[in-house]
Structure 1
Amino acid sequence: MSQRKEQAQLIEEIGLGIEERLRLSPLASRIYALLILSSYDGLTFEEIKEEIQATKSSTSVNINVLIQLNYISYYTKPGDRKRYFRLAKYSSLIALEADHQAIDNEMAIIERINTFNKKYHPEKFTNEQTLGHIFQDYLVEKQELVDRVIKKMRSFRESEK
């Protein structure tokens, strides 16, 4: 398989995951995936448009969405009018912080379920209390792992020049 075909397939696979996880449009997800697989130098608008095979308008709109969400950034080179797009320095942290928030939301829901069942269905709460606690323990451990990774990533990014 050629590098170009392998990259296109990987962009599609990564894009589907990003679309679901970050709730981005399919095109924004694929642009983000393309930039994940690109060099630190970034890509021009034309390179992105060509690689993703999208219209100028759609590409522009989705790049602007990614910039507003701080997932990507751009820079210019002296004497060159083109903008070069690349992943924003803290884009992976933003995604992890979204995971952290989702875990918080899940924990709150589990707590409400347990409280409701304890109040209105004490026999169910007694029988299922162990399951509720197992799931709560899982979420706590997951959140602790995400917290550790966020700290490591923040430290790594801050050490970069």
Structure 2
Amino acid sequence: MELSNQKQQLIEEVGVYLEERAGLSPLASRIYALLILSSREGMSFENIVCAMQASKSSVSNNVNVLLQLHYIEYYTKPGDRKRYFRTSDYYLKNTMEQQAHLIEKSLKIIQKVNDFNENNNPNKFEVEKAIGTLYKDLLHDQLTKLNDTLIQFEKLKETSK
């Protein structure tokens, strides 16, 4: 399977991003990027091996990691023994839920720090109060948007059934 230069470059760019953002290995990130940029039908294991130009065992190990993390899923076709891999919708929902959880934790920590500084460092609290408020407002807005998006995501999933 020959990839265009444009697709190879984008796989590399998305792969580097996923390495940093999701903590994936270089090969797992590139496999995931490849599947993100592939059709909804996904790709066979053999096509992934060919596109990644990596050993079958390396691809297999990294595909298994992606499956365990629910980043990808597989399916089979009737009469065909091959497994086909594609991105998982579950991963997108999970990512949004994780982001919402991190924002909630951040808001709790910020509130504890603010409470402490208000009681123990009143001068510092007064100076930094406006900046802290801006940041808390930003996090609240992000949390609201994430929760709204999760609701829309669920509605889309229901209508597509």
- Give the TM-score taking structure 2 as reference length: 0.90
Measure how far apart 1:89 and its partner are.
Answer: 2.9
Structure 1 residue 5 corresponds to structure 2 residue 25? no
On the 8 A contact 1:89/1:157 being kept in 2, the answer is no
Q: Report what 1:118 is aligned to.
A: 118
Deviation at 1:35, TM superposition (A): 0.8
Decide whether aligned partners of structure 1 residues 60 and 74 sit closer, same or farther in structure 2, where only a CA change above 3 A counts: same
CA distance in structure 1 between the aligned counterparts of 2:53 and 2:109, rounded to whole angstroms? 42
- In structure 2, relative to structure 1, the CA distance for the partners of 1:110 and 1:92 (3 Å cut) is same
Match of 1:76 in 2: 76
Aligned residues: 160
Counterpart-to-counterpart distance in 2, 1:158 and 1:26 = 35
- Output the amino acid matched with 1:31: I
User: Cα deviation per residue 1:134-159 (whole Å; 9 max; x = unaligned)?
Assistant: 10010000111111111112221222
Runs of 4+ displaced beyond 6 Å = none
Q: Which secondary structure does the structure 1 equivalent of 2:74 belong to?
A: strand
Matches of residues 10-159 of structure 1 in structure 2 within 5 Å?
10-159=10-159
Equivalent residues of 2:3, 2:51 under 8 A apart: no
Alignment deviations for residues 110-133 of structure 1 (CA, whole Å, 9 cap, x no partner): 222212222321110111111111
- Contact 1:22/1:95 (CA < 8 Å) preserved in 2? no
- Cα separation, partners in 2 of 1:47 and 1:153, compared to 1, 3 Å: same
Structure 1 position 38, deviation (Å): 0.7
SS at match of 2:78: coil
Task: Give 1:7 shift.
Answer: 0.7
> Tell me, which stretches of 5 or more residues in structure 2 are unaligned?
none
Supply the distance in 2 between the matched residues of 1:118 and 1:56 (Cα, whole angstroms): 59
RMSD (Å), alpha carbons = 1.7
Deviates more, 1:135-144 or 1:52-61: 52-61
Unpaired segments of 5 or more residues in structure 1? none
TM-score by length of 1: 0.90
SS in 1 for 2:89: coil
Give, as a single letter, the amino acid of the residue that structure 2 aligns with 1:4. S
CA distance in 2, matches of 1:34, 1:45: 12
